[in-house]
Amino acid sequence: MANVSIIPSGDFKTSYGTDTTIFPTTTSRNFAILGVILLLACPAFMDRFWLNMLIQIGYLGIAALGLNILVGFTGQISIGHSAFFGFGAFASAWLNNRWGVPVALAIPLAGVVTTGVGLLFGMPAARLKGLYLAIATLAAQYILQDFFARADWFTGGTNGTIAEALTIFGFSFDTDERYFYVVLVAMVVMYILATNLMRTRDGRALVAVRDHYLSAEIMGINLTKYRTMSFGISAFYAGIGGALYAHYLQFVSVEGFTILFSIQFLGMIIIGGLGSIMGTLMGTAFMVFLPEAMQALTKLVSGTAIDTALNLKDNIAFLREMSIGLVIILFLVFEPDGLAHRWKQIKAYWKLYPFSH
């Protein structure tokens, strides 16, 4: 699934090194670098709305990548990702407020703390798989959500907690334009880390566990170790994403981290493509723009008969919720490999155009 790409005939890989490069071709690498450079220029000409969207894609994309490592690469299902995301957000704010840890340090530390929590809840993961694990993580979601509501010392209870803006050497990243770079750097680093992880022995072990765990075990892969590790990595990414979210909004409320949010994360990776790193980003972008698209759609039909019949204006929240569910179902039925797969097909089509056979 992950490595289907059209390679021109005669292009043989002669060493493992060339077969496992980060980017399959030089062109794709150059395009990726170009993309990052273009993004660097974004704050100069984009307005706040688009910057906000891009920042959201950034921190949600990091968390979603963690989930994709767990679900897409290791084949373990988690329905409690938003709880870990929330835990990271609270942990970072708490480390900063209570212990005076500078924010720049609190964000990675929050990731580490969340990893600990992830490993704790990942302990059942060592024994369970598939369905049973899904149900265990569902329980984790509810337990953590309850913990957020109750632990006043950690989350501020119903009042929520304030997270200070990120400041490095007296330079405060408190506007969208400035914070954009923080998220961009974090995202690039985390995505490169994930890509590299998949090139290592450990990454291949994860994929082996997904593809056929019995064969993997026979080949000497320690199932317990890799399942738990994958859970930890996923929690780490969620924690980093959550911490970035906290210091972006500078306020964390206990209500946000519901099961619907967890399902949105799952939606992102399914839409993007399970087991695809770039797909994760596409799926996240899709999920972030979906509510806006619904809003735009509502605006488009406002005043018409459809609008009055369905009373769209008051029910836009439900429309958004419904669209999330519908998109997930439609993708699973019609495009189970996600946007990444579609993108590859489009690329392949143009590569061979007009002689596709």
Other residues' Cβ atoms within 10 Å of the Cβ of residue 15: 7
- 210 CB-near residues (< 8 Å, 6+ apart): 72, 73, 74, 75, 275
134 is a contact residue toward another protein (CB under 8 A): yes
Measure the CA–CA gap between 165 and 45, rounded to whole angstroms. Answer: 23
Which residues are 251's β-sheet partners?
162
**According to the binding rule CB under 8 A, does residue 35 interact with another protein?**
no
Q: How near is the Cβ of 350 to another protein at its closest, in Å?
A: 29
Q: Does 207 bind another protein (CB under 8 A)?
A: no
Query: Is 266 within 8 Å of 81 (Cβ atoms)?
Result: yes
Q: Is 333 in the site for another protein (CB under 8 A)?
A: yes
Query: Least distance to another protein from the beta carbon of 304, Å?
Result: 18
The pair of structure tokens assigned to 320 is 């958004």
- For the window 73-92, what string marks contact with another protein as x by the rule CB under 8 A? --x-x-x-------------
Identified binder of another protein from the candidate list 158, 200, 225, 336, rule CB under 8 A = 336
* DSSP classification of residue 158: G
What residues does 162 pair with on adjacent strands?
251
Q: Which CB sits closer to another protein, 175 or 295?
A: 295
- State the minimum distance, in angstroms, from the CB of residue 3 to another protein: 18
- Interface mask toward another protein for 215-254; x: CB under 8 A: ---x------------------------------------
| 104-142 burial code (b ≥16 CB/10 A, e <16) | bebbebbbebbbebbbebbebbbebbeeebbebbbebbe
CA dist list (Å): 348 to 111, 113, 337, 357: 38, 43, 16, 11
The Cα 160–Cα 150 span in angstroms is 11
Is the Cβ of residue 71 or residue 93 nearer to another protein in the bound state?
71
By CB under 8 A, is residue 309 in contact with another protein? no
| Token pair 């490595």: residue | 3
Pick from 23, 49, 132, 349 the residue near another protein by CB under 8 A.
132
Q: Which stretch binds another protein (CB under 8 A): 2-10, 38-46, 228-236, 266-274?
A: 266-274
293 contributes a contact to another protein by CB under 8 A: no
Binding mask 147-186 for another protein (x = CB under 8 A): --xx------------------------------------
> What is the DSSP annotation of 233-261?
HHHHHHHHHHHHHHHHHTEE-TTS--HHH
Are 218 and 58 in contact, with CB atoms under 8 Å apart?
no
Q: Which stretch binds another protein (CB under 8 A): 61-69, 85-93, 138-146, 229-237?
A: 138-146
Q: What would the DSSP string read from start to end of 329-350?
A: HHHHHH-TTHHHHHHHHHHHHH
Binding segment for another protein among 7-15, 27-35, 106-114, 260-268 (CB under 8 A)?
260-268
Considering the rule CB under 8 A, would residue 329 count as an interface residue with another protein? yes
Our finding on whether 143 is near another protein (CB under 8 A) is yes
Q: Which residues bind another protein (CB under 8 A)?
A: 71, 75, 77, 79, 123-124, 127-128, 130-132, 134-136, 138-140, 142-143, 146, 149-150, 214, 218, 260, 263, 266-267, 270, 274, 310, 315, 318-319, 321-322, 324-326, 328-329, 332-333, 336
